[in-house]
């Protein structure tokens, strides 16, 4: 499937960023984005430098031949690319046989994200959780680590009508909100909108692209495109990448397979 530009895909055109000054604990002026999102800082964690100049990237799940032929549920692997097709990160799930067989898309896992030098820069830790709207006290959560240091958490919000997530920083404060559609048709692009922390300003979008009838029906290989402000903090961009992977597991991971590997 040919990639579309943000305008062709219907992604929102970013408004000029407005800032306001607040006093930090050190007495310095710290600019804020409209809606309360923090401006990027100069301390970029090692390994995330490639995210500093990006305002979009693509996440493509790799097609496993064994999964196509046998229907066995294998570990998920992804490639993260920029708009030019350059590979930024490789993503690989770590989970056991029993978890994939018994828990399916709700399985706990550790996901390792490595850069082009095969250095692990981002680690995702997802415990077993439910996503049922009937169980609001046991919803999905996933912790995100960069260079073994925790930077934040992806938290599913209780909403019986549509997908809803909060991206929280290390202090537990919501920095980004994500809202999904009421209906997710498998034969069309599905958009999850990215909002500022107050939930009022749309600043980006996670779009699940339809990959074609063969890939959709015989594998779980999905393709996502993501847009966001270029001057968003790089750690928040890493959290958005993590949220995209969690969304894939929760809403697009096949549940009909009987055999696991």
Task: Assess if residue 182 is contained within a domain.
Answer: yes
Task: Assess if residue 19 is contained within a domain.
Answer: no
Task: Assess if residue 28 is contained within a domain.
Answer: no
Strand partners, 155: 141, 166
**What CATH number is attached to the domain comprising 108?**
3.20.90
Nearest to 91 by CA among 100, 78, 103, 81: 78
Task: Assess if residue 41 is contained within a domain.
Answer: no
pLDDT along the chain (261 residues), means of 10: 49 40 33 49 82 94 64 82 94 82 80 94 90 68 95 91 92 94 75 92 90 49 88 95 93 56 45
- pLDDT of res. 95: 81
Task: Assess if residue 133 is contained within a domain.
Answer: yes
User: Alpha-carbon distance 85 to 83, whole Å?
Assistant: 5
Helix residue spans in 219-258 (DSSP H): 234-252
Task: Assess if residue 26 is contained within a domain.
Answer: no
Domain residue limits at 243: 48-252
User: Alpha-carbon distance 162 to 179, whole Å?
Assistant: 7
Task: Assess if residue 30 is contained within a domain.
Answer: no
Task: Assess if residue 27 is contained within a domain.
Answer: no
- pLDDT of res. 18: 33
Helix residue spans in 15-103 (DSSP H): 65-70, 97-102
User: Alpha-carbon distance 98 to 34, whole Å?
Assistant: 46
User: Alpha-carbon distance 122 to 112, whole Å?
Assistant: 6
User: Alpha-carbon distance 46 to 138, whole Å?
Assistant: 34
- pLDDT of res. 131: 59
- pLDDT of res. 156: 92
- pLDDT of res. 220: 52
- pLDDT of res. 187: 65
- pLDDT of res. 229: 95
**Domains held by the chain: number:** 1
């Amino acid at each position: 499937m040919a990639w579309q530009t943000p305008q062709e895909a219907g992604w929102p055109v970013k408004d000029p960023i407005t800032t306001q000054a607040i006093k930090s604990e050190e007495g310095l002026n710290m600019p804020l984005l409209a809606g309360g999102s923090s401006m990027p800082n100069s301390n970029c964690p090692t390994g995330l430098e490639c995210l500093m100049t990006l305002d979009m990237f693509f996440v493509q799940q790799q097609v496993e031949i064994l999964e196509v032929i046998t229907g066995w549920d294998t570990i998920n692997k992804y490639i993260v690319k920029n708009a030019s097709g350059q590979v930024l990160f490789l993503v690989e799930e770590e989970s056991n046989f029993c978890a994939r067989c018994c828990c399916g898309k709700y399985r706990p896992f550790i996901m390792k994200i490595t850069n082009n030098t095969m250095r692990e820069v981002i680690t995702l830790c997802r415990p077993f959780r439910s996503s049922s709207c009937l169980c609001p006290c046991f919803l999905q959560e996933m912790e995100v680590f960069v260079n073994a240091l925790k930077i934040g958490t992806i938290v599913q919000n209780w909403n019986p009508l549509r997908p809803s997530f909060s991206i929280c920083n290390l202090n537990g404060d919501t920095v980004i909100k994500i809202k999904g559609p009421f209906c997710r048709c498998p034969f069309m692009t599905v958009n999850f909108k990215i909002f500022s922390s107050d939930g009022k300003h749309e600043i980006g979008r996670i779009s699940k692209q339809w990959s074609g009838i063969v890939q959709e029906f015989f594998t779980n290989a999905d393709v996502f495109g993501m847009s966001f402000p270029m001057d968003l903090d790089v750690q928040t961009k890493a959290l958005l990448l993590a949220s995209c992977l969690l969304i894939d597991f929760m809403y697009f991971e096949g549940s009909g397979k009987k055999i696991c590997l």
